[in-house]
A and B are shown apart, each in its own frame.
Chain A
């Protein structure tokens, strides 16, 4: 059990990603290239690794957490389940993507302050917006985020320090 808990607590950041130092990344997280993580975003992999794909945009105060299910205490045996976040997703300010069973595919936009606590696969090109209730709109094409990503990748390094890949240091 100790092996499982201590295995690979590293953050792997690919070469083209822009991850600000002020963001909080804990646990086993892999971040793909061309992903931008704003300061004060939180990616917490408690109960398993999180794999974030390419071209994602994670804004301030967003929370992506792979947490333990509620009724199981952390000490007991829990299968570490990987949380996958696909490509070209946008996590707007203050949203929370909580849970081990949410699988985000590509092109999704989780609007500001929306909580995604469900156990489901969110289909492609979904937009979740609105206060209170979760509402979804299927758009017909993925969002043209390239402009915004390029802009941010140029501007953010001017004002923030960036995190580089931490070499994997524990092996048990």
Chain B
């Protein structure tokens, strides 16, 4: 590889405090095309640390000391490695190499496309068919007499960030679809996200209307009416603008904005007040700093938590989901959700509402298909948000992180409702950043198709599904989650906690305590083995009994 200036440096010291490590390890550092690898010298352990280049978010060279030159490696999963090189030259070379390697300029440099997946074509094809949005629409009973499939976007001509497969209200004519699309930011017209079979109400999504201060579109107004008509049970719909009201108003000056209740006669407007990606990015940096404080006082910590604003944002995302879920389940009223472009906050709000409404989305498979549908297929810009390629840092923002954290907060309140555990959420998050698989590559379905990802890489879902045993929540009971039906979380501020597993995993008791999840999982595993053992014994016992009976009769007949 042309970017690797020094493939191997010996006598390097590595310290990773986040893993609870206190003393540095001495070993050899290797740079490969895809990974930085550190192998400990200690002959017995020879511990290895692997860091994908695509996981590196930052490199720093603090002033060196008499013992050598320092390099600090920050990762997107918040690991921080302190490396100490005996020679400054090595440090400079590694720094330069990694700077280039961690900022790939094209997708083909990424790990998932640099390995050759043709070796196992059948397995690869199977991996991509594991989770498909079409299965989910089928599960919801679509198409039906209210919602129909449209081919309007099959070539991505109407909207290049939408999927080819769209479900729209039966009352929307092709002309209305076209006109509505033209009146919406980036052509993202109102389409179905989730259909609630019990109440026949639906969650729909779109982007902001190009209304400015007074602009209107007859087709778009008809489109909104069509959404309302697709729900026989109500004569209005909620339009949830997930932005703060002020931001939405400011957008009007740029010819965008929100729906006027006067022009759209059958809507009720609701603002959710979720802040934009830039606010979220800096907020996450602040909560990360809070988690990494070395010996904070309780006040430092709590004030830091408050000042980061992070939990306030998490609450706003959950509140938006709760509002939508209540409208659907309790009032039976359909909801149209949008933000500005409709691919960040809208994805969050729709998917949170779906998880609250639908027990299926609380299973591993269900969450996979939900993310595949609401995020991947609807053009959440994964490559921009999670910095897959060297690009504009202002495009990076922890949008998916917040959705996963909302799930974690919900699992704290509903320990039996989710089939997966915390590990699943953490690994899913890492995979969204690391690009080890093709699923999250690119920014839209169109882009992914043109990259021919399905031929060149694997799907992330098969990787997670393969390890499903590891991700199982032992307390999950399908029936219980069913009976809970719609989750009604308490969103009072005191219900939110810092997600320690993500932001401060180093602070652990000693010796490491077994978690209830681990304990119960091993008991469950033991029970499965016992069940097997019992069945075997039963077989042997039956056979023995039969022989005893047989010999008894034989003895009897011989008498």
A and B pair up = no
